[in-house]
Amino acid sequence: MKHNPLLEGFSLGKGVTLRNRIVMAPMTTWSGNDDGTVSHEEEAYYRRRVQDIGLVITGCTHVQENGIGFTGEFAAWDDKFIPGLKRLATAAKSGGAPAILQIFHAGVKTSPELVSDIVAASAVPGDAGPFAPSVIPRELTGDEVEAVIHAFSEATRRAIEAGFDGVELHGAHGFLLQNFLSPHSNQRADQWGGSLDNRMRFPLSVVENVRNTIAEYATHPFIMGYRISVDEHYDDGLRLDESLQLVDRLVDEGIDYLHVSLGNALEARPVDAPTGPKVIEIVRDHLTGRIPLIVAGQLRTPEQAEDAVKAGVSLTAVGQGLVMNPDWVKFAEGKAEGKIALDIAASDAEQLAIPGKLWCVIEETTGWFNIR
């Protein structure tokens, strides 16, 4: 069998070593209980997929009650959720890999069905998406911005108490961290808006406070990652050059890895340079090995993930591929029977430990999965 760089061990930093370069990508399952606690279906979903993975990153959990982004999303905004988070950490770590809890505030990317008081950096409408209509949010006050920063720190403390090995700050997909960074969505005239330095102030303050929380409460190596979308399609939206300036500041503030979320990890190019170098090449060269780089975006087969590693990516995040193939790593190892699945059917759901609510979303969302 030929050498496969996907299967190499990798040092994530702080003494945390991964057995391979394959990451379970953070994907919401819409499967939490109605009270925001972690469901047994969610636990089973992780246990079925983590046996050979190098690193597990959970789906997102909201740091404030109004930060929820999806129906059936498990919560982390209060200490009452710690018991469920402990069960999730145990399930996510049951295969022997470290587990990272992804934390976020959805901001304008939520739904009026979930949140009565939708907040953002400014009163700028968000994108209408498959799971939420376009709404005009309320601009956060200065005191409320400080409260959100504190909420990220408190969610980090809960992650530590629950037994996770790190947190990932979800600053991608137009959620609140990116909402403040974007010149399109951040129209503020105070210290939190205007210049790039001011627009970076919120995400950098979150990182600083989370880092301090880790130093105060963690008794073992605890990782802090940051997920980012590097540009936006708006004419006045975020562009790669500003994102790279944020990346430099994030590295200086002590993040342990950068997680770049792309529509297509292997092919994506900057919005303002569609014929130029690929995004992963630009970010790889900009990081110059200072911290590990994770990429996500349609890496469904081991061959695609291997191509990403050969392109200089540190770790590959596999999402839909793992939903359809819980034993995905076995295919990378050449130990699986048959061919890797690239589509899914209702008859597969039980055997694949796919939660019922997740299957309903798969059926309702045209083009998200290939359904046979």
SS3 sequence of the chain = CCCCHHHCCEEEECCEEECCCEEECCCCCCCCCCCCCCCHHHHHHHHCCCCCCCEEECCCEECCHHHCCCCCCCECCCHHHHHHHHHHHHHHCCCCCCEEEEEECCCCCCCCCCCCCCEECCCCCCCCCCCCCCCCCEECCHHHHHHHHHHHHHHHHHHHHHCCCEEEEEECCCCHHHHHHCCCCCCCCCCCCCCHHHHHHHHHHHHHHHHHHHHHHCCCCCEEEEEECCCCCCCCCCCHHHHHHHHHHHHHHCCCEEEEECCCCCCCCCCCCCCCCCHHHHHHHHHCCCCCEEEECCCCCHHHHHHHHHCCCCEEEECHHHHHCCCHHHHHHCCCCCCCCCCECHHHCCCCCCCHHHHHHHHHCCCCCCEC
At residue 1, the pLDDT reads 59
At residue 68, the pLDDT reads 97
At residue 2, the pLDDT reads 74
Q: Is the pLDDT of residue 130 over 60?
A: no
- State the average pLDDT over residues 358-368: 85
pTM: 0.97
Contact 172, 105 (CB under 8 A): no
How far is Cα 142 from Cα 160, in angstroms, rounded to an integer? 28
- State the average pLDDT over residues 4-27: 96
Radius of gyration over alpha carbons of the chain, in Å?
Answer: 19
How far is Cα 113 from Cα 133, in angstroms, rounded to an integer? 10
- State the average pLDDT over residues 310-333: 97
Task: Please count the residues of the chain.
Answer: 372
Tens-digit pLDDT profile for residues 19-30: 999 999 999 999
**How does the average pLDDT of the chain come out, rounded?**
95
Q: Is the pLDDT of residue 214 over 80?
A: yes
Tens-digit pLDDT profile for residues 341-352: 999 999 999 999
Name the token pair of 48: 């079925």
**Quick one: pLDDT band at residue 372, thresholds 50, 70, 90?**
confident
How far is Cα 170 from Cα 127, in angstroms, rounded to an integer? 17
**Quick one: pLDDT band at residue 131, thresholds 50, 70, 90?**
low
Name the token pair of 63: 């740091």
296 beta partners: 261, 317
Q: Is the pLDDT of residue 226 over 80?
A: yes
Q: Is the pLDDT of residue 56 over 90?
A: yes
**Quick one: pLDDT band at residue 172, thresholds 50, 70, 90?**
very high
Q: Is the pLDDT of residue 275 over 60?
A: yes
Tens-digit pLDDT profile for residues 68-120: 999 999 999 999 999 999 999 999 999 999 999 999 999 999 999 999 999 99
Q: Is the pLDDT of residue 178 over 90?
A: yes
Phi/psi at 259 (5° precision): -115, 110
- State the average pLDDT over residues 52-74: 97
**Quick one: pLDDT band at residue 3, thresholds 50, 70, 90?**
confident
Instruction: Give the residue carrying structure tokens 């590693």.
Output: 309
Contact 50, 97 (CB under 8 A): yes
- State the average pLDDT over residues 1-9: 88
- State the average pLDDT over residues 177-203: 98
Alpha-carbon separation of residue 132 from 70, 111, 124, 155, 321 (angstroms)? 8, 5, 15, 24, 25
Nearest Cα residue to 202 out of 184, 223, 182: 182
At residue 116, the pLDDT reads 94
**Quick one: pLDDT band at residue 320, thresholds 50, 70, 90?**
very high
